Amino acid sequence: MTLFDLTNKTAIVTGSTRGIGRATANRLAEHGANVVISSRKSSACNQVAEDINQNWVKGSAKAIPIPCNINHKEQLRALVDGTLDTFGRIDILVCNAAVNPYFGPSADISDEAFNRTMESNVRSNFWLCNMVISEMDNIQGGSITIISSIAGLRGRPLIGAYGISKAADMQIARNLATEYGPNNIRANCIAPGLIRTDFASALLEDEEILSERTASTPLRRIGEPDEVAGAVVFLASDAGAFVTGETIVIDGGVTVV
């Protein structure tokens, strides 16, 4: 059990009021970490933090809400500062919040949608990672996990810009791992396949796409948020202490066939 023990550690999870982010926050708290719940809507953050405090936390750990729009640098700074004001340290960062405002051929995406995708999925992660790393230096260690996607590993006809942004996230992790490894700071990506979340609703609600994906997946099903959350706990804990710069694929086998 001690391999996965997160007692006395503090985690920030962006986009943690639903889907993969919420499942991740639940499981980090279950393993003993303080957890900062963050998304754009304060009411949703409050509700999730309350639920975690009632049902998931262990020992003296607790969850607190800090709303944040990841597209605004000053709000990311406030997220980091608010975490430090409450807990005094940041051991774990999970960059989960992302957008996919366009679903269709790459040639038809508007400049606005393309820019929004890159700003939310790449620039905000770059900003937040750099802010948190300076604090991880103070405690001589830490774990950063960026939730990427298998869309960053292969070409897809309807989510091209999203795939570009997710490939960039993998490179962010590789760069951070190389630069800050000597400081005992690890950075990794997780690349999920199709997971049952609101974020993936455009794919889940298309019966043809869903049927095709299920049939082409060796496990013959789509994934669940908890099946990604477990890998985040692994990377954040001593069990993952020698893993850095990697992209862990969690897709039911889609990318191996």
Query: Among the residues of the chain, which ranges form H helices?
Result: 19-30, 42-55, 73-87, 111-118, 124-138, 160-180, 201-204, 207-216, 225-236
Q: Which of 162, 180, 199, 234 is catalytic?
A: 162
What's the rounded Cα separation, in Å, for the pair 18 and 7? 24
- What are the backbone angles phi and psi of residue 4, rounded to the nearest 5°? -110, 10
Mapped onto helix, strand or coil, the DSSP state of residue 80 is helix
CA distances from 135 to 92, 129, 166 (A): 11, 10, 25
Beta carbons of 152 and 170 less than 8 angstroms apart = yes
The question of whether 102 is a catalytic residue gets the answer no
Catalytic positions, written as ranges:
162
